Each structure stands twice: as C-alpha cells, then as structure tokens.
C-alpha cells in the first residue's frame, strides 16, 4: 500500500507529511528491538564474534595452521592466551578463524534454506490446489528424514566438506520455511491489495515477488535468526564427531574433537572448554535476538 504513495497527488502527500510524520514499519520494529535489553545483548555478542572472525588474522598475529611441536598442549600463558593444541597451534587464533567457518556455515546454509523454502512455499501458497498438494507432500517427506542420521550419512557419502554440510542443512531444513511462507501467502492472497494488484494487471511472478513475499519477511527473519543458531549447533556436533568440516580447517566443533579422549577431557580444559563456551554464546545470542525480533515484529505474540 505504501508503494502506491507516488500516485497520491503531491498536494495530499505534502499534507500527510506535515500532519504526522509517517514511520516506516522497519523503524518501528527497530525502536521496539532497541528497547529489548536481552535482544540487544545478543546482537552485541554476535557482532563481536563476527568481527573477531572477520579480523581473525589480527587477533593474535599468529598464523592459523603453524604447528610448533616443541610447544604442544601448552596451558594458557601470556604468549598463548588460551594455550596450544596437540600440534602446538595457538587455540585463540584458531578460535577466531573457526568462527569464520562456523558462522559462514550457519549463515549460508540458512540463506539456502530460505531460498528453497520461499520459492517452493511461495509457489504452493499462490497457486494452491494440485501444485500446493504436490509441494507440501514433498515437504512432508523431507521433514520425516531423521535429521542428524541423514546429515551424517550425507556428509559421509559425499565427503566431509563445508559445502556438503551447508547443502545437507538446507535440504533438510527447507520444509519449515516453506510451510510458514505458504501459510502466510494463503491468507495474504485473499486480501484487498492483491485484488488491486490483479486489477492493475500485474503478472503472477511480480505479484509473488514484490507483493506477497515482502509481507512474509517478518516471519522469515525470525525463523532465519533461530535457524542460523541451530545450523551452528548441528555443524559443531557433526564436526566434533569428526563427521563435519575436516581439519586442518578449524571450526568451533572440530577444535573440540580431541576432547573425546578421556585424557584431554581430564587434563587439558583449554582445548575444549573455550570452543564450547563460544558455541554456546553464539547460539544463545542468536536465540535471544530471534526472540526479540519476534516480539518486535509482532507485539501481539509478546507474553
């Protein structure tokens, strides 16, 4: 509706502007979000972690994969703030670099998931009937796949690489998004502004892309935020088991691989506690942000 503003004659538009300052929906959401302390803490933490990942080379200045066999398994010291791993590599450096992979996997796999989910959910919701039925039954099938076992199988079969992890997370996760988008479009389709769009002779594609999808953005953003969090959890679990991203590329999960040995678990806390805490922090921050966004986007849901 706001889009059609250009068609209101200039006089009226001026009147509107002077009588009351019209805030865009996103400004309102931003203001509500800023009031939510927990969500802001989440945003700050996830920003810090992202910045640390982006500027990883500058955190310690130590190269990522440089091994030092004279200084393996060293406890934290002023030289290595979080100690070294079994190959003498600096833990703090690898934690920062690990963030690059873990956060990228979370972000890219969620984007892929949303892309598939929005396209299929959009088509299903808009066209309805047979197409809807076919797409949603396929979604049912995909959501019946047991998540971790299939992820493990997929990665084992195609090889443990960051790309295969992203692909499997997207393949297993799209039905959730498709259902949300479909449900929203089903109800939006019947609204007056869509009737107006039809009257103006706008084509199906444009109707879906520029009128329907933008109206589902709120729900998509919320589930994307928590989706990134669960993607990070899955990637770290797979990598921890040695079934995810393969070394020497560090991820928060595969850095903890050594802790499967009882000796490391008992004697070298610095090799598994910090990555675990970082994963926890990243995930809880994204969840806090997701909750905050949900409340800000739809205050009716706030409890």
13 versus 140: smaller Cβ distance to another protein? 140
Q: How far is the CB of 56 from another protein (least distance, A)?
A: 21
153 versus 249: smaller Cβ distance to another protein? 153
Q: How far is the CB of 173 from another protein (least distance, A)?
A: 13
121 versus 275: smaller Cβ distance to another protein? 275
Taking the C-alpha atoms of residue 255 and residue 97, their distance in angstroms, rounded to an integer, is: 11
**Residues β-bridged to residue 90:** 84
59 versus 259: smaller Cβ distance to another protein? 259
Q: How far is the CB of 235 from another protein (least distance, A)?
A: 10
Contact positions vs another protein (CB under 8 A): 137-138, 140-142, 144-150, 152-154, 156-158, 229, 233, 236-237, 240-241, 243, 253, 256, 259-260, 262, 265-266, 269, 272, 276, 279-280, 283-284, 287-288, 291, 303
Taking the C-alpha atoms of residue 94 and residue 86, their distance in angstroms, rounded to an integer, is: 13
Is 136:180 a contact under the CB 8 Å cutoff?
A: no
Q: Is 215 exposed, middle or buried (0-12, 13-18, 19+ CB in 10 A)?
A: middle
Q: Could you identify the residue written with the tokens 């678990």?
A: 265
Q: How far is the CB of 187 from another protein (least distance, A)?
A: 17
Q: How far is the CB of 281 from another protein (least distance, A)?
A: 9
Is 252:279 a contact under the CB 8 Å cutoff?
A: yes
Which residues have CB under 8 Å from 240's CB, separation 6+? Answer: 253, 254, 256, 257, 260
165 versus 194: smaller Cβ distance to another protein? 165
Q: How far is the CB of 145 from another protein (least distance, A)?
A: 6
DSSP character at residue 21: P
Count other C-beta atoms under 10 Å from residue 140's C-beta: 11
Nearest to 52 by CA among 87, 86, 99, 3: 99
**Residues β-bridged to residue 84:** 90
Region of residue 67 (left: phi > 0; alpha: psi -120 to 50; beta: else): beta
Q: How far is the CB of 268 from another protein (least distance, A)?
A: 11
169 versus 208: smaller Cβ distance to another protein? 169
Chain length of the chain: 303
93 versus 239: smaller Cβ distance to another protein? 239
């Amino acid at each position: 509706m706001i889009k059609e503003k250009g068609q209101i004659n200039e006089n009226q538009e001026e009147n509107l502007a002077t009588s009351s300052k019209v805030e865009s929906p996103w400004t309102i959401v931003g203001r509500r979000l800023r009031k939510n302390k927990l969500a802001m803490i989440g945003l700050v933490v996830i920003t810090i972690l992202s910045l640390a990942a982006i500027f990883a080379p500058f955190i310690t200045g130590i190269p990522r994969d440089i091994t030092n066999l004279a200084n393996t398994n060293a406890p934290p010291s002023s030289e290595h703030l979080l100690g070294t791993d079994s190959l003498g590599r600096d833990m703090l450096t690898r934690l920062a670099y690990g963030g690059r992979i873990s956060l990228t996997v979370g972000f890219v796999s969620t984007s892929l998931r949303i892309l598939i989910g929005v396209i299929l959910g959009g088509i299903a919701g808009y066209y309805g009937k047979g197409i809807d039925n076919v797409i949603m039954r396929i979604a049912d099938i995909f959501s019946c796949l047991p998540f971790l076992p299939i992820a493990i199988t997929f990665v084992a079969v195609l090889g443990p690489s960051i790309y295969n992890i992203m692909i499997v997370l997207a393949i297993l996760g799209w039905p959730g998004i498709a259902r949300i988008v479909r449900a929203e479009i089903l109800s939006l389709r019947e609204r007056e502004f869509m009737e107006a769009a039809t009257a103006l002779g706008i084509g199906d594609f444009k109707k879906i892309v520029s009128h329907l999808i933008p109206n589902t953005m709120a729900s998509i953003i919320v589930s994307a935020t928590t989706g990134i969090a669960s993607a990070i959890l899955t990637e770290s679990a797979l990598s921890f088991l040695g079934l995810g991203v393969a070394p020497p590329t560090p991820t928060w999960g595969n850095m903890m691989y050594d802790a499967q040995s009882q000796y490391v678990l008992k004697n070298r806390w610095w090799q598994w506690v910090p990555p675990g805490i970082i994963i926890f922090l990243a995930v809880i921050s994204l969840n806090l942000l997701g909750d905050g966004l949900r409340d800000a986007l739809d205050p009716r849901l706030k409890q």
